[in-house]
Amino acid sequence: MKKILVTGGLGYIGSHVVVELQSSGFEVVIIDDLSNSSLDVLDGIFDITGVRPIFEKIDLKEKELVIDFFKRHSDIDGVIHFAAAKAVGESVDDPLKYYENNISSLVYILKALQDFKSTKFVFSSSCTVYGQADELPITENAPVKEAESPYGNTKKIGEQMIKDLCNCNDSFAAIALRYFNPIGGHSSAKIGELPIGVPQNLVPFVTQTAIGIRKELSIFGKDYPTPDGTCIRDYIHVVDLAKAHIVALNRLFDEKKSNHYEVFNIGTGKGSSVLEVVNAFMRVTGVNLNYCFTDRRCGDIVSAYADTIKANTVLGWKARLSLEDALASAWKWEKSLQN
């Protein structure tokens, strides 16, 4: 049984990946500093899979602790790295926190991998590296633009660091997955997204408004050059996204397929506007949502959706679940939090 380290494994995407790993027969070790997650997530993972992963509370900025971890777990076969701060606005106000959190920790973990000869690495990257792409849908060959925020820059730098390491070390192989907009939760509603404070992302704000925690959803801008005037994104069900990690990991373990360093877009290939998401949510749940239109949000791009041909053909992964499935699961999760 292969042993996989998942850093940030108690977070939103990490926890869904842990479930898929365990369901696919991998042994999982989680490192998380609990800065944006809760130990209760371990119970959710156990309820779904019947297996409680090994867990260690470690702050990856503590270099000595990272080395010590790998000394004790020298049999790690591969790493999926999520541990990172991800609030775009906060990264603008406190950039060094983001460089320290997201870059220093990545250096330490890559260094440990090199020293301990664990050589398979999946990196959680983002479509944010494309900025407002010149052409849609966005292929992996689209230019990586100057980052809009320190958070975005950490993803861009992170990818480059991993690529550099692959270039100088023949035995190291990595895949960067560029996620579009992950939404929804596990169908069991045992794990899901747990935003701290006021949600910045659309879907948690929608579900919190629907359940009465927020009075009204503000739709940021109605005069964008899109069919209904609201921004367009590629919303991908987090369970589909999680499965992409298993496929990526298996590709790295397959000597015939593994290609040293690769990037893949992980999206559905379909763009949906904010209004389409809101209407789909009301249709799927039967709940009426209070919303209004406000000014554009600073830094928002107009439209982004993935070209998924490379992921479909080279990686052999395809999104299966719909926007409606994702919104229904997000609503089920939100309701479960009230009990």
Are the C-beta atoms of residues 219 and 292 closer than 8 Å to each other? yes
CA of residue 246 relative to chain centroid, distance: 14
CA of residue 177 relative to chain centroid, distance: 9
Candidates 205, 281, 305, 333; binder of ligand UD1 (CB under 6 A) is: 205
Residue among 116 and 220 whose Cβ is closer to ligand UD1: 220
Distance, in Å, from the CA atom of 166 to the CA atom of 209, rounded to the nearest integer, reads: 45
Catalytic choice (12, 108, 151, 235): 151
- Looking at residues 21 to 50 of the shown chain, list those that interact with ligand UD1 (rule: CB under 6 A): none
Residue among 112 and 232 whose Cβ is closer to ligand UD1: 232
Distance, in Å, from the CA atom of 257 to the CA atom of 275, rounded to the nearest integer, reads: 41
Q: Three-class SS of residue 203?
A: helix
Annotation marks residue 151 as catalytic? yes
Distance, in Å, from the CA atom of 206 to the CA atom of 323, rounded to the nearest integer, reads: 14
Q: Name the strand (E) or helix (H) holding 9.
A: none
Distance, in Å, from the CA atom of 119 to the CA atom of 110, rounded to the nearest integer, reads: 9
Question: What is the contact mask toward ligand UD1 in residues 87 to 116, using x (rule: CB under 6 A)?
Answer: -x----------------------------
Task: List beta partners, residue 304.
Answer: none
The stretch near ligand UD1 (CB under 6 A) out of 20-28, 110-118, 133-141, 294-302 is 294-302
Residue among 274 and 306 whose Cβ is closer to ligand UD1: 274
12 binds ligand UD1 (CB under 6 A): no
Residue among 180 and 317 whose Cβ is closer to ligand UD1: 180
126 binds ligand UD1 (CB under 6 A): yes
In the complex, the residues that contact ligand UD1 under the rule CB under 6 A are 88, 126, 128, 152, 181-182, 200-202, 205, 217-220, 231, 233, 274, 297, 299-300
